[in-house]
Structure 1
Amino acid sequence: MTDTPGWASPGSAPSSEGREPGASGPADHPGPTEPAQQPGPIPQGPGVKWSKEQPPPGQWSAPTGAPTPQAPPPRPPSGPGWGGQQPGGPGPGGYGGPPAGPGGYGAWGSGWGGPPPAAKPGVIPLRPLGVGEILDGAVSTMRTYWRTVLAVSVAVALVVDTSLVLVQGLIMNDAVTTSTFNDRSATPDEVFHALRASMIGTGIVAAISMVAVIVATALLTTITSRAVLGRPITAVEAWREARPQIPKLFGMLVLLALIVGGVVFVGALPGLIIMFAGSGNGAGAALLALGIVAALIVAGWLMIRFYLATPVLILERQSILKALSRSAKLVRGSWWRIFGIMLLTGLITNIVASLVGIPFTFIGAAVSGDSIGNLLGASGGHLSWTFLIIRGIGSVVGTTLTLPISAGVTVLLYIDQRIRREALDLELARAAGAQGAGSAAGTIPGS
């Protein structure tokens, strides 16, 4: 048998014929074969002395002074070793070596509590992650590298929420537009004018928000990927690394919007055809509603399938189509898990944003003197600039706190899927300079 470390008994060399150490036989004595019952000279050593009168084979007795073999000595309780047994003792999990004792495998195995801890050079351990570890890693990134993270998120929040306040105050908060939507006697021209103004304002806010969120996502993806390795990065360095991929990120989001729009249109098309044909408006409306619901389900499934395309595009420098294909490959078999984590993250971020924004809303109402009916839009009144600005400040704070968490969870989900499928943890450990896979080395930021 090959003398592989961890399998052979320590302190004894296996015999050439596969016998137990200490057994006598023809291979040990080159002379003529003698009966096994005939005693021979026994060499004396400094250790325990054995009896010169050896019993016949199969009737070995214990050495002088050793316990009798009628009752085997109790084994130590099973520890968390392999197979539920101590590595030194017999049984399904043991090695078949000597009993547990000082210097043997049993002494080593009695203190073994499972695999060594995974390397953690940054904000997460380099192994498959749980839901709590993914959320904790996103929060730890924001807490450890708060200067860079907050510089990006505050800039984005200021751009988005300032544009929202300006559009609401200048376009959507117009007295004529507000009263038109609440006036049942308004003419079609007035409704069209109000609808056009609202669509223009919504489009402006949506365009500005999309640009700002795309840039922030690209920067925060780069920052989080560095935080996994425990390496700080400035906002300028993050921009320099992410800038070449930002145009591709715009193109990918436009393509995803077209895919979702196409799916919804195909789902609604049968109901629209029946309704425009004029035969069975009730059946057409029901088919339209059913088709839209089915299309939204398919669109949601596609969005989760392509959920990891953004970190693939930024970190792997892939093209748009390859990023979508790669995301689908990483998500395959884990759709429900990623959906649950995304849903939990959205719930947490919305709760945090609401808890931050609600006090500013009431403070703005108290300072500006706007009524509760104005805040809820029930009275169709005009909102003051004081209220819009104070509420905008609350939105800035909420966006600053929640945007890094959302982006961080997406990046860490991508890293977790690659660790599970492609053993990315080994490559990350080498990149971080960890001393061997499975050993915790260095300072752990954010722990």
Structure 2
Amino acid sequence: MNDTPGWASPGSAPSDGQKPDQSGPAEPTDRPAPAQPADQPAQPGQAPQGPGGPQWSKEQPPPAQWSAPSGPAAPGQAPPPPPPGPGWGNQPPGGYGPAGHGGYGAPGTHGGWGSGWGGPPPAAKPGIIPLRPLGVGEILDGAVSTMRTYWRTVLGISLTVAVLTELIVVLFQGLVLNDSSTEALNDPSATLSELSRAMGDAMLNSSVVFVISLVGTVIATALLTTVTSRAVLGKSVTIGEAWRDGRPQVLKLFGLICVLLLITVGVVTVGALPGLLVTIAGSNGPGVALTVLGIIGAGIVALWLAIRFSLASPALMLEKQGIKKAMSRSAKLVQGTWWRIFGIQLLAALIASVVASIIVIPFTLLAAALSGDGLTGWLSTGVGSLGWTFLIISGIGSVIGSMITFPITAGVTVLLYIDQRIRREALDLELARAAGVQGYGSTAPGATPGS
């Protein structure tokens, strides 16, 4: 019998009829009675032979530690000892044996083998997330924790990128947009050619502003991806280190964003093209209906592709992949979990939009109130008469909003990528080794791929 600490065989607890100094195992009273030999039947009124009798082997435990074979008790025979305490067959509620005797104890005990079982032990957490498959709340909390724990680096990157981006946008809007021919959009007497030219200029200006904002977003995403990936390991990184690590991939990341935009535009164009052709042919009603249906269908396809390739950015930055390989990696990681990733990305986008609106809208209203025409005049003029006061004050609000929303959107995307790799490729083992976690192996929580 193994008498090492923390181990005891089931049913070894002393019974009520045993003395404390007797340590032998008690035999259960429900053991079947041994068969009497046919040539020596028991005499009427004679009790079965007990320990030490002629029918018993000489190598027997002392009488006090072994119950007599069960069977019909003869008159005058001493009753058998009471049954043993809770053991293998008498488990207390919630456990597998007597708690506190080193056996299969109940949860929370500090006894023997298997005692204290209340679920798997907590996963290692060297940084902002535990190294196991993550829930929605843990992904969102990880993005916020990155910003809170490494706020100097995170807010420094976001603020720098947002200021530079917004400065270029404000200068462009103040110097170019106000001098363009977009005033015709507010003129009821404008001719068709003037309206067409004004709409073209407005679309061109909006495209330029979008490209400028896109470049800033790409740079912020590249740098914040490095920060978030280090934060998972519990390691800090400076702005300079983040730039040196992410700089080689910035051009590839910008190319990836452009490819995804071209795919989206191409899908929408293909969806709307049949309806446009029918409209040009002269069937206005069916053409318009077909165009609307085509745009709706193309929008659904574009959304599906956007989520399918949504993890390409962190794959490109962290795996140092090319554009095509990063898109292939994203499609592989998203496969089978499209709805989950869509829901988390949508929730993160809604949170970022709400936070940005809470900050930007008051600054916009304040800018309109302090501008020359006031709030009423601003609501009635439109894009053709934006003043410098309005552009500067509203730009400050945009900088503050971007400074907060950049880390949220980038952090959620990176943590989704890490979560999917933990689920499919057991990345938590690599992360634990990189973080220096001792004793984290294949038996660690969350180490099984696909959990």
Shared fold per TM-score greater than 0.5: yes
Q: Deviations over 1:362-381 (max 9, x none)?
A: 33233334322333345777
Does the alignment pair 1:102 with 2:101? yes
Contact 1:349 1:402 in 2 (8 A): yes
The match for 2:93 is 77
Separation (CA, whole Å) in 1 of partners of 2:181 and 2:256: 35
2:228 to 221, 224, 231: 224
1:186 to 180, 185, 190: 190
SS in 2 for 1:124: coil
1:410 to 413, 422, 444: 413
1:293-372 correspondence runs (5 A): 293-372=296-375
1:269 to 264, 269, 273: 273
2:215 to 211, 215, 218: 211
* Highest RCO, 1 vs 2 (Cα 8 Å, sep ≥ 6): 1
Does the alignment pair 1:397 with 2:405? no
Which residues of structure 2 form unaligned runs of 5+? Answer: 13-24, 28-51, 74-78, 446-451
> How far is 1:315 from its partner?
0.6
Which residues of structure 1 form unaligned runs of 5+? Answer: 13-20, 24-33, 79-85, 90-98, 441-447
Separation (CA, whole Å) in 1 of partners of 2:350 and 2:416: 17
> How far is 1:199 from its partner?
3.2
> How far is 1:352 from its partner?
0.7
The match for 2:58 is 40
Separation (CA, whole Å) in 2 of partners of 1:423 and 1:334: 17
Separation (CA, whole Å) in 2 of partners of 1:419 and 1:36: 69
Q: Which amino acid aligns with 1:179?
A: E
2:438 to 435, 438, 444: 435
Q: Which moved more, 1:374-383 or 1:256-265?
A: 374-383
> How far is 1:164 from its partner?
2.1
Separation (CA, whole Å) in 1 of partners of 2:295 and 2:157: 38
Separation (CA, whole Å) in 2 of partners of 1:66 and 1:151: 79
- Greater Cα radius of gyration, structure 1 or 2: 2
The match for 2:49 is none
Q: Which moved more, 1:417-426 or 1:430-439?
A: 430-439
Seen in structure 2, the aligned counterparts of structure 1 residues 285 and 431 have a Cα distance that, compared at 3 Å, is same
2:165 to 160, 168, 180: 160
The match for 1:171 is 176
Contact 1:145 1:232 in 2 (8 A): yes
The match for 2:149 is 144
SS in 1 for 2:385: coil
Equivalenced residue count is 394
> How far is 1:191 from its partner?
2.5
Separation (CA, whole Å) in 2 of partners of 1:413 and 1:178: 42
The match for 1:375 is 378
Separation (CA, whole Å) in 2 of partners of 1:376 and 1:7: 80
Q: Which amino acid aligns with 1:313?
A: L
The match for 2:295 is 292
Separation (CA, whole Å) in 2 of partners of 1:148 and 1:36: 89
SS in 2 for 1:50: helix
Q: Which moved more, 1:155-164 or 1:322-331?
A: 155-164
> How far is 1:422 from its partner?
1.2
Separation (CA, whole Å) in 1 of partners of 2:54 and 2:189: 118
Q: Which moved more, 1:356-365 or 1:335-344?
A: 356-365
The match for 1:424 is 427
> How far is 1:22 from its partner?
8.8
Q: Which amino acid aligns with 2:302?
A: A
Separation (CA, whole Å) in 2 of partners of 1:396 and 1:361: 12
Separation (CA, whole Å) in 1 of partners of 2:86 and 2:316: 67
Q: Which amino acid aligns with 2:274?
A: P
> How far is 1:35 from its partner?
11
Seen in structure 2, the aligned counterparts of structure 1 residues 70 and 110 have a Cα distance that, compared at 3 Å, is closer
Q: Which moved more, 1:184-193 or 1:308-317?
A: 184-193
1:56 to 46, 49, 69: 69
> How far is 1:170 from its partner?
2.1
Seen in structure 2, the aligned counterparts of structure 1 residues 129 and 41 have a Cα distance that, compared at 3 Å, is closer
Separation (CA, whole Å) in 2 of partners of 1:422 and 1:371: 58
Separation (CA, whole Å) in 2 of partners of 1:51 and 1:70: 14
Q: TM-score, normalised by structure 1?
A: 0.79
> How far is 1:57 from its partner?
7.1
> How far is 1:382 from its partner?
2.6
Separation (CA, whole Å) in 1 of partners of 2:234 and 2:85: 60
Does the alignment pair 1:68 with 2:73? no
Seen in structure 2, the aligned counterparts of structure 1 residues 336 and 7 have a Cα distance that, compared at 3 Å, is farther
| Percentage identity across paired residues of the two chains | 60
Give the superposed CA RMSD: 3.4
Q: Which amino acid aligns with 1:300?
A: L
Seen in structure 2, the aligned counterparts of structure 1 residues 399 and 281 have a Cα distance that, compared at 3 Å, is same
> How far is 1:432 from its partner?
0.6
Does the alignment pair 1:127 with 2:140? no
Q: Give every structure 1 segment of 4 or more consecutive aligned residues whose post-TM-superposition deviation is greater than 4 Å.
A: 5-8, 57-60, 69-74, 377-381
